[in-house]
Amino acid sequence: MVKYLKTGAEASNVAAIDRKVRDVVEATLADIEARGDVAVRELSVKFDKWDRDDYRLTPAEINAALAELSAQDIKDIEFAQEQVRNFAQIQRDSFKDVEVETMPGVILGHKNVPVQNAGCYVPGGKYPMLASAHMSVLTAKVAGVPRIITCAPPYMGKPASAIVAAQHMAGADEIYALGGIQAIGAMAIGTQTIEPVDILVGPGNAFVAEAKRQLFGRVGIDLFAGPTETLVIADETVDAEICATDLLGQAEHGPDSPCVLLTTSEKLARETMAEVARLLEILPTAGHARISWETYGQVIVADDHDEMIKIANELAFEHVQVMTDRDDWYWENMVDYGALFLGPRTNVANGDKVIGTNHTLPTKKAARYTGGLWVGKFLKTCSYQKITTDEAAAKIGRYCSRLCMLEGFSGHAEQANVRVRRYGGDNVPYATGAKPVAE
Protein backbone atom coordinates (compact mmCIF):
# COMPACT_ATOMS: atom_id res chain seq x y z
CA MET A 1 0.00 0.00 0.00
CA VAL A 2 1.34 3.43 -0.93
CA LYS A 3 2.18 5.70 2.00
CA TYR A 4 2.62 9.46 1.60
CA LEU A 5 4.91 10.93 4.25
CA LYS A 6 4.78 14.33 2.54
CA THR A 7 2.37 15.69 -0.08
CA GLY A 8 2.60 18.64 -2.44
CA ALA A 9 0.20 21.39 -3.40
CA GLU A 10 -3.42 20.52 -4.07
CA ALA A 11 -4.27 20.05 -7.74
CA SER A 12 -7.00 22.69 -7.49
CA ASN A 13 -4.50 25.28 -6.28
CA VAL A 14 -2.13 24.45 -9.11
CA ALA A 15 -4.97 24.74 -11.63
CA ALA A 16 -5.91 28.18 -10.31
CA ILE A 17 -2.34 29.38 -10.72
CA ASP A 18 -2.26 27.95 -14.26
CA ARG A 19 -5.42 29.87 -15.17
CA LYS A 20 -3.88 33.14 -14.03
CA VAL A 21 -0.77 32.43 -16.05
CA ARG A 22 -2.85 31.67 -19.16
CA ASP A 23 -4.74 34.93 -18.90
CA VAL A 24 -1.60 37.04 -18.45
CA VAL A 25 0.15 35.36 -21.36
CA GLU A 26 -2.83 35.70 -23.71
CA ALA A 27 -3.14 39.43 -23.08
CA THR A 28 0.61 39.98 -23.39
CA LEU A 29 0.92 38.15 -26.71
CA ALA A 30 -2.00 40.14 -28.11
CA ASP A 31 -0.23 43.35 -27.09
CA ILE A 32 3.01 42.26 -28.80
CA GLU A 33 1.12 41.42 -31.98
CA ALA A 34 -0.62 44.80 -31.95
CA ARG A 35 2.29 47.07 -31.04
CA GLY A 36 5.45 45.12 -31.83
CA ASP A 37 8.70 46.64 -30.63
CA VAL A 38 6.94 49.25 -28.48
CA ALA A 39 5.17 46.55 -26.48
CA VAL A 40 8.32 44.45 -26.21
CA ARG A 41 10.27 47.40 -24.86
CA GLU A 42 7.60 48.29 -22.31
CA LEU A 43 7.44 44.69 -21.10
CA SER A 44 11.22 44.47 -20.80
CA VAL A 45 11.26 47.61 -18.68
CA LYS A 46 8.34 46.41 -16.56
CA PHE A 47 9.55 42.88 -15.82
CA ASP A 48 13.34 43.07 -16.20
CA LYS A 49 13.98 46.79 -15.65
CA TRP A 50 15.92 46.62 -18.90
CA ASP A 51 15.64 49.36 -21.51
CA ARG A 52 17.49 49.95 -24.76
CA ASP A 53 16.68 51.03 -28.29
CA ASP A 54 17.76 47.77 -29.89
CA TYR A 55 17.80 44.52 -27.91
CA ARG A 56 20.07 42.75 -30.36
CA LEU A 57 23.63 42.59 -29.05
CA THR A 58 26.35 44.08 -31.22
CA PRO A 59 29.60 42.28 -32.09
CA ALA A 60 31.38 44.64 -29.68
CA GLU A 61 29.04 43.66 -26.85
CA ILE A 62 29.52 39.97 -27.61
CA ASN A 63 33.31 40.37 -27.58
CA ALA A 64 33.11 42.29 -24.32
CA ALA A 65 31.11 39.44 -22.74
CA LEU A 66 33.73 36.92 -23.89
CA ALA A 67 36.48 39.09 -22.43
CA GLU A 68 34.81 39.02 -19.00
CA LEU A 69 35.24 35.26 -18.71
CA SER A 70 38.41 33.56 -17.57
CA ALA A 71 40.37 31.19 -19.76
CA GLN A 72 39.10 28.32 -17.60
CA ASP A 73 35.50 29.48 -18.05
CA ILE A 74 35.94 29.40 -21.82
CA LYS A 75 37.61 26.00 -21.65
CA ASP A 76 34.77 24.60 -19.53
CA ILE A 77 32.14 25.91 -21.96
CA GLU A 78 34.09 24.44 -24.88
CA PHE A 79 34.22 21.05 -23.14
CA ALA A 80 30.47 21.04 -22.45
CA GLN A 81 29.67 22.13 -26.00
CA GLU A 82 31.90 19.42 -27.43
CA GLN A 83 29.91 16.77 -25.52
CA VAL A 84 26.56 18.17 -26.63
CA ARG A 85 27.73 18.58 -30.23
CA ASN A 86 29.11 15.04 -30.38
CA PHE A 87 25.90 13.44 -29.13
CA ALA A 88 23.77 15.65 -31.37
CA GLN A 89 25.87 14.60 -34.36
CA ILE A 90 25.34 10.95 -33.46
CA GLN A 91 21.62 11.64 -33.44
CA ARG A 92 21.83 13.44 -36.79
CA ASP A 93 23.73 10.53 -38.30
CA SER A 94 20.87 8.22 -37.33
CA PHE A 95 18.64 10.03 -39.84
CA LYS A 96 18.81 8.64 -43.34
CA ASP A 97 17.28 9.93 -46.53
CA VAL A 98 15.39 7.17 -48.32
CA GLU A 99 14.65 6.51 -52.01
CA VAL A 100 13.28 3.23 -53.32
CA GLU A 101 11.59 1.90 -56.44
CA THR A 102 8.53 0.23 -54.93
CA MET A 103 7.35 -1.17 -58.26
CA PRO A 104 8.66 -0.71 -61.79
CA GLY A 105 8.57 2.98 -62.64
CA VAL A 106 7.42 4.19 -59.16
CA ILE A 107 9.98 6.02 -57.02
CA LEU A 108 9.16 6.94 -53.40
CA GLY A 109 11.43 8.63 -50.93
CA HIS A 110 11.86 11.04 -48.09
CA LYS A 111 14.36 13.76 -47.24
CA ASN A 112 15.21 15.18 -43.84
CA VAL A 113 14.99 18.92 -44.33
CA PRO A 114 16.09 21.39 -41.62
CA VAL A 115 13.66 23.99 -40.34
CA GLN A 116 14.82 27.31 -41.78
CA ASN A 117 14.50 29.62 -38.76
CA ALA A 118 14.81 28.62 -35.10
CA GLY A 119 14.28 30.71 -31.99
CA CYS A 120 16.14 29.44 -28.92
CA TYR A 121 15.17 30.69 -25.46
CA VAL A 122 17.79 30.63 -22.72
CA PRO A 123 16.39 31.25 -19.22
CA GLY A 124 18.52 33.45 -17.01
CA GLY A 125 16.50 35.64 -14.68
CA LYS A 126 17.41 33.90 -11.40
CA TYR A 127 20.52 32.07 -12.63
CA PRO A 128 22.58 32.59 -15.81
CA MET A 129 21.70 29.20 -17.35
CA LEU A 130 24.28 29.13 -20.10
CA ALA A 131 23.81 25.38 -20.58
CA SER A 132 20.50 26.03 -22.30
CA ALA A 133 22.43 27.75 -25.09
CA HIS A 134 24.38 24.57 -25.75
CA MET A 135 21.25 22.47 -25.72
CA SER A 136 19.24 24.57 -28.15
CA VAL A 137 21.61 26.56 -30.38
CA LEU A 138 24.17 23.79 -30.85
CA THR A 139 21.52 21.17 -31.54
CA ALA A 140 19.88 23.39 -34.17
CA LYS A 141 23.30 24.03 -35.70
CA VAL A 142 24.05 20.32 -36.02
CA ALA A 143 20.63 19.83 -37.63
CA GLY A 144 21.59 22.37 -40.29
CA VAL A 145 19.20 25.22 -39.44
CA PRO A 146 20.33 28.23 -41.54
CA ARG A 147 19.15 30.99 -39.16
CA ILE A 148 19.28 30.60 -35.40
CA ILE A 149 18.30 33.45 -33.11
CA THR A 150 18.44 33.32 -29.35
CA CYS A 151 17.06 35.34 -26.45
CA ALA A 152 18.04 35.46 -22.79
CA PRO A 153 16.95 37.93 -20.13
CA PRO A 154 19.40 40.34 -18.53
CA TYR A 155 21.03 39.14 -15.34
CA MET A 156 21.71 41.65 -12.57
CA GLY A 157 21.05 44.56 -14.90
CA LYS A 158 23.00 43.52 -17.99
CA PRO A 159 23.41 40.64 -20.43
CA ALA A 160 24.88 37.63 -18.64
CA SER A 161 28.40 37.27 -19.97
CA ALA A 162 28.46 33.49 -19.62
CA ILE A 163 25.18 33.10 -21.51
CA VAL A 164 26.27 35.45 -24.28
CA ALA A 165 29.55 33.58 -24.62
CA ALA A 166 27.77 30.24 -24.82
CA GLN A 167 25.24 31.55 -27.35
CA HIS A 168 28.01 32.93 -29.53
CA MET A 169 30.29 29.90 -29.21
CA ALA A 170 27.37 27.61 -30.07
CA GLY A 171 26.88 29.47 -33.35
CA ALA A 172 23.87 31.76 -32.87
CA ASP A 173 23.29 34.15 -35.77
CA GLU A 174 21.41 36.79 -33.73
CA ILE A 175 21.62 37.29 -29.95
CA TYR A 176 19.00 39.34 -28.11
CA ALA A 177 18.98 40.44 -24.47
CA LEU A 178 15.29 39.77 -23.94
CA GLY A 179 13.46 37.54 -21.50
CA GLY A 180 10.06 36.18 -20.62
CA ILE A 181 6.86 36.40 -22.63
CA GLN A 182 8.24 39.37 -24.56
CA ALA A 183 11.12 37.28 -25.91
CA ILE A 184 8.90 34.36 -26.89
CA GLY A 185 6.33 36.66 -28.48
CA ALA A 186 8.92 38.66 -30.40
CA MET A 187 10.56 35.55 -31.84
CA ALA A 188 7.30 33.85 -32.82
CA ILE A 189 5.15 36.79 -33.91
CA GLY A 190 7.93 39.06 -35.12
CA THR A 191 8.29 42.80 -34.64
CA GLN A 192 9.50 45.73 -36.70
CA THR A 193 13.10 44.72 -35.95
CA ILE A 194 12.93 40.95 -35.33
CA GLU A 195 12.04 38.58 -38.14
CA PRO A 196 9.80 35.74 -36.89
CA VAL A 197 11.03 32.17 -36.59
CA ASP A 198 9.49 28.85 -37.61
CA ILE A 199 10.10 26.95 -34.37
CA LEU A 200 10.59 27.92 -30.71
CA VAL A 201 12.69 25.79 -28.39
CA GLY A 202 14.09 25.97 -24.91
CA PRO A 203 12.96 25.72 -21.30
CA GLY A 204 11.60 28.51 -19.14
CA ASN A 205 9.32 29.46 -16.31
CA ALA A 206 5.56 28.94 -16.29
CA PHE A 207 4.96 32.10 -18.35
CA VAL A 208 7.49 31.12 -21.01
CA ALA A 209 6.09 27.60 -21.25
CA GLU A 210 2.53 28.89 -21.52
CA ALA A 211 3.54 31.42 -24.20
CA LYS A 212 5.01 28.59 -26.26
CA ARG A 213 1.85 26.56 -25.77
CA GLN A 214 -0.38 29.39 -26.96
CA LEU A 215 1.82 30.07 -29.98
CA PHE A 216 1.96 26.44 -31.07
CA GLY A 217 0.44 26.17 -34.53
CA ARG A 218 1.58 29.61 -35.52
CA VAL A 219 5.08 28.24 -35.00
CA GLY A 220 6.38 24.85 -34.05
CA ILE A 221 7.61 24.20 -30.53
CA ASP A 222 9.94 21.61 -29.15
CA LEU A 223 7.73 20.53 -26.25
CA PHE A 224 6.07 21.79 -23.10
CA ALA A 225 9.17 22.52 -20.99
CA GLY A 226 8.00 24.34 -17.89
CA PRO A 227 9.33 24.46 -14.34
CA THR A 228 11.78 21.68 -13.53
CA GLU A 229 10.54 18.38 -12.09
CA THR A 230 12.70 15.74 -10.44
CA LEU A 231 11.86 12.26 -9.18
CA VAL A 232 14.35 10.28 -7.12
CA ILE A 233 13.64 6.53 -7.10
CA ALA A 234 15.73 4.92 -4.37
CA ASP A 235 15.98 1.91 -2.12
CA GLU A 236 18.20 1.01 0.83
CA THR A 237 21.28 0.72 -1.43
CA VAL A 238 21.78 4.50 -1.08
CA ASP A 239 21.64 6.92 1.82
CA ALA A 240 19.75 10.04 2.81
CA GLU A 241 22.55 12.47 1.96
CA ILE A 242 22.64 11.60 -1.74
CA CYS A 243 18.84 11.50 -2.00
CA ALA A 244 18.38 14.86 -0.27
CA THR A 245 21.17 16.42 -2.31
CA ASP A 246 19.61 15.26 -5.58
CA LEU A 247 16.18 16.57 -4.55
CA LEU A 248 17.44 20.00 -3.53
CA GLY A 249 19.77 20.23 -6.52
CA GLN A 250 16.67 20.61 -8.68
CA ALA A 251 14.40 22.29 -6.13
CA GLU A 252 16.72 25.30 -6.20
CA HIS A 253 15.29 26.16 -9.61
CA GLY A 254 12.21 27.13 -7.55
CA PRO A 255 9.81 28.32 -6.50
CA ASP A 256 7.50 26.00 -8.42
CA SER A 257 9.74 22.99 -9.10
CA PRO A 258 8.22 19.68 -7.94
CA CYS A 259 10.69 17.28 -6.31
CA VAL A 260 9.64 13.79 -5.20
CA LEU A 261 11.32 10.93 -3.36
CA LEU A 262 9.86 7.53 -4.22
CA THR A 263 11.26 4.66 -2.18
CA THR A 264 10.57 1.20 -0.78
CA SER A 265 12.26 2.14 2.50
CA GLU A 266 10.36 4.18 5.08
CA LYS A 267 13.61 4.47 7.04
CA LEU A 268 15.35 6.07 4.05
CA ALA A 269 12.33 8.31 3.46
CA ARG A 270 12.34 9.71 6.99
CA GLU A 271 16.10 10.10 7.05
CA THR A 272 15.97 11.95 3.72
CA MET A 273 13.34 14.36 5.02
CA ALA A 274 15.57 15.11 8.01
CA GLU A 275 18.59 15.55 5.74
CA VAL A 276 16.65 17.94 3.49
CA ALA A 277 15.84 20.04 6.55
CA ARG A 278 19.53 20.07 7.55
CA LEU A 279 20.78 20.99 4.07
CA LEU A 280 18.26 23.81 3.76
CA GLU A 281 20.03 25.51 6.65
CA ILE A 282 23.33 25.65 4.75
CA LEU A 283 22.40 25.67 1.04
CA PRO A 284 23.13 29.15 -0.41
CA THR A 285 20.10 28.87 -2.72
CA ALA A 286 17.77 27.69 0.04
CA GLY A 287 15.50 30.68 -0.54
CA HIS A 288 14.26 29.11 -3.77
CA ALA A 289 14.73 25.46 -2.82
CA ARG A 290 12.79 25.71 0.44
CA ILE A 291 9.69 27.08 -1.29
CA SER A 292 9.77 24.32 -3.90
CA TRP A 293 10.25 21.62 -1.27
CA GLU A 294 7.63 22.92 1.12
CA THR A 295 5.04 23.61 -1.59
CA TYR A 296 5.63 20.89 -4.17
CA GLY A 297 7.84 18.31 -2.46
CA GLN A 298 6.54 14.78 -1.92
CA VAL A 299 7.82 11.67 -0.17
CA ILE A 300 6.18 8.42 -1.21
CA VAL A 301 6.82 4.96 0.25
CA ALA A 302 5.82 2.02 -1.94
CA ASP A 303 5.61 -1.66 -1.09
CA ASP A 304 7.93 -2.88 -3.83
CA HIS A 305 9.63 -2.01 -7.11
CA ASP A 306 6.61 -2.95 -9.22
CA GLU A 307 4.55 -0.41 -7.32
CA MET A 308 7.30 2.19 -7.63
CA ILE A 309 7.50 1.88 -11.41
CA LYS A 310 3.71 2.15 -11.67
CA ILE A 311 3.77 5.40 -9.67
CA ALA A 312 6.77 6.71 -11.62
CA ASN A 313 5.03 6.16 -14.96
CA GLU A 314 1.90 7.89 -13.64
CA LEU A 315 3.95 10.91 -12.55
CA ALA A 316 5.74 11.04 -15.95
CA PHE A 317 8.35 13.43 -14.55
CA GLU A 318 10.99 15.33 -16.45
CA HIS A 319 14.03 14.01 -14.58
CA VAL A 320 14.08 10.54 -13.03
CA GLN A 321 17.11 9.64 -10.92
CA VAL A 322 17.23 5.87 -10.25
CA MET A 323 19.42 4.53 -7.43
CA THR A 324 18.42 0.97 -6.62
CA ASP A 325 19.66 -2.58 -6.75
CA ARG A 326 18.06 -2.92 -10.23
CA ASP A 327 18.69 0.30 -12.15
CA ASP A 328 18.71 -1.40 -15.56
CA TRP A 329 15.33 -2.99 -14.80
CA TYR A 330 13.89 0.51 -14.54
CA TRP A 331 15.54 1.45 -17.84
CA GLU A 332 13.96 -1.61 -19.46
CA ASN A 333 10.48 -1.09 -18.02
CA MET A 334 9.84 2.63 -17.54
CA VAL A 335 7.92 4.24 -20.39
CA ASP A 336 6.93 7.75 -19.27
CA TYR A 337 9.83 10.05 -18.39
CA GLY A 338 11.86 12.90 -19.83
CA ALA A 339 15.32 11.48 -19.09
CA LEU A 340 16.68 8.71 -16.90
CA PHE A 341 19.77 9.04 -14.71
CA LEU A 342 20.79 5.54 -13.82
CA GLY A 343 22.82 4.75 -10.73
CA PRO A 344 24.39 6.86 -8.00
CA ARG A 345 27.47 7.75 -10.04
CA THR A 346 25.54 10.11 -12.32
CA ASN A 347 22.97 12.77 -11.51
CA VAL A 348 20.59 15.28 -13.06
CA ALA A 349 23.15 18.11 -12.91
CA ASN A 350 25.42 16.13 -15.24
CA GLY A 351 22.61 16.00 -17.78
CA ASP A 352 21.72 19.63 -17.19
CA LYS A 353 25.18 20.99 -17.78
CA VAL A 354 27.78 18.84 -19.44
CA ILE A 355 27.41 15.12 -20.16
CA GLY A 356 25.98 15.55 -23.67
CA THR A 357 22.32 14.55 -23.57
CA ASN A 358 19.86 17.40 -23.95
CA HIS A 359 18.39 19.04 -20.86
CA THR A 360 15.29 20.52 -22.50
CA LEU A 361 12.77 17.91 -21.43
CA PRO A 362 8.99 17.44 -21.14
CA THR A 363 7.18 18.53 -17.97
CA LYS A 364 3.60 18.41 -16.70
CA LYS A 365 3.11 14.83 -17.91
CA ALA A 366 4.09 15.67 -21.49
CA ALA A 367 6.52 12.74 -21.25
CA ARG A 368 3.51 10.54 -21.98
CA TYR A 369 3.69 11.59 -25.64
CA THR A 370 7.07 13.17 -26.35
CA GLY A 371 10.73 12.92 -25.52
CA GLY A 372 13.07 15.85 -25.04
CA LEU A 373 14.70 18.28 -27.43
CA TRP A 374 17.01 16.64 -29.94
CA VAL A 375 18.24 17.08 -33.48
CA GLY A 376 15.05 15.53 -34.83
CA LYS A 377 12.98 18.46 -33.55
CA PHE A 378 14.71 20.69 -36.09
CA LEU A 379 14.25 18.30 -39.02
CA LYS A 380 11.18 17.77 -41.19
CA THR A 381 10.95 14.33 -42.76
CA CYS A 382 9.38 15.22 -46.11
CA SER A 383 8.25 12.58 -48.57
CA TYR A 384 8.33 12.73 -52.36
CA GLN A 385 7.28 10.57 -55.29
CA LYS A 386 7.83 10.32 -59.00
CA ILE A 387 6.70 8.02 -61.80
CA THR A 388 9.18 7.39 -64.56
CA THR A 389 7.27 5.21 -67.05
CA ASP A 390 3.99 5.44 -68.96
CA GLU A 391 3.05 1.95 -67.82
CA ALA A 392 3.40 2.84 -64.14
CA ALA A 393 1.47 6.10 -64.57
CA ALA A 394 -1.43 4.24 -66.14
CA LYS A 395 -1.42 1.38 -63.65
CA ILE A 396 -1.37 3.60 -60.57
CA GLY A 397 -3.83 5.96 -62.25
CA ARG A 398 -6.46 3.27 -62.80
CA TYR A 399 -6.40 2.21 -59.15
CA CYS A 400 -6.43 5.84 -58.01
CA SER A 401 -9.35 6.69 -60.28
CA ARG A 402 -11.57 3.94 -58.90
CA LEU A 403 -10.63 4.61 -55.27
CA CYS A 404 -11.40 8.32 -55.68
CA MET A 405 -14.82 7.55 -57.10
CA LEU A 406 -15.42 5.15 -54.19
CA GLU A 407 -15.05 8.18 -51.94
CA GLY A 408 -17.15 10.42 -54.16
CA PHE A 409 -14.23 12.62 -55.27
CA SER A 410 -14.73 13.04 -59.01
CA GLY A 411 -12.23 15.89 -59.23
CA HIS A 412 -9.60 13.71 -57.62
CA ALA A 413 -10.53 10.92 -60.00
CA GLU A 414 -9.96 13.21 -62.98
CA GLN A 415 -6.42 13.91 -61.82
CA ALA A 416 -5.82 10.19 -62.27
CA ASN A 417 -8.00 9.81 -65.38
CA VAL A 418 -6.20 12.46 -67.42
CA ARG A 419 -3.00 10.51 -66.97
CA VAL A 420 -4.63 7.17 -67.73
CA ARG A 421 -5.85 8.68 -71.00
CA ARG A 422 -2.48 10.23 -71.90
CA TYR A 423 -0.11 7.51 -70.76
CA GLY A 424 -2.31 4.42 -70.90
CA GLY A 425 -4.40 5.16 -73.99
CA ASP A 426 -7.68 4.38 -72.17
CA ASN A 427 -10.74 6.41 -73.17
CA VAL A 428 -12.05 6.92 -69.63
CA PRO A 429 -15.39 8.81 -69.56
CA TYR A 430 -15.19 12.08 -67.66
CA ALA A 431 -15.67 11.81 -63.88
CA THR A 432 -16.00 8.05 -63.83
CA GLY A 433 -13.75 5.34 -62.52
CA ALA A 434 -11.24 3.78 -64.90
CA LYS A 435 -11.94 0.19 -65.85
CA PRO A 436 -9.53 -2.45 -64.54
CA VAL A 437 -7.28 -4.23 -66.99
CA ALA A 438 -5.80 -7.69 -66.76
CA GLU A 439 -2.35 -7.73 -65.20
Instruction: Please identify every residue annotated as catalytic.
Output: 318-319
Secondary structure of residue 363 in the 3-state scheme: coil
For residues 403 and 382, give the distance between their C-alpha atoms in angstroms, rounded to a whole number.
24
What does the longest C-alpha to C-alpha distance in the chain come to? 88
For residues 138 and 14, give the distance between their C-alpha atoms in angstroms, rounded to a whole number.
34
Residue 158 forms beta bridges with which residues?
155
Handedness of CA 267, 272, 273, 277 (dihedral sign): positive
Rounded (5°) CA angle 88-91-97: 130
Q: Are 160 and 154 in contact (CB under 8 A)?
A: yes
Between the CA of residue 143 and those of 93, 232, 275, 378, 427, what are the distances in Å? 10, 33, 44, 6, 49
Secondary structure of residue 102 in the 3-state scheme: strand
Handedness of CA 207, 210, 212, 218 (dihedral sign): negative
Burial string for 167-204 (b: 16+ CB within 10 Å, else e) reads: bbbbbbebbbbbbbbbbbbbbbbebeebebbbbbbbbb
Strands 230-234 and 117-121: unpaired
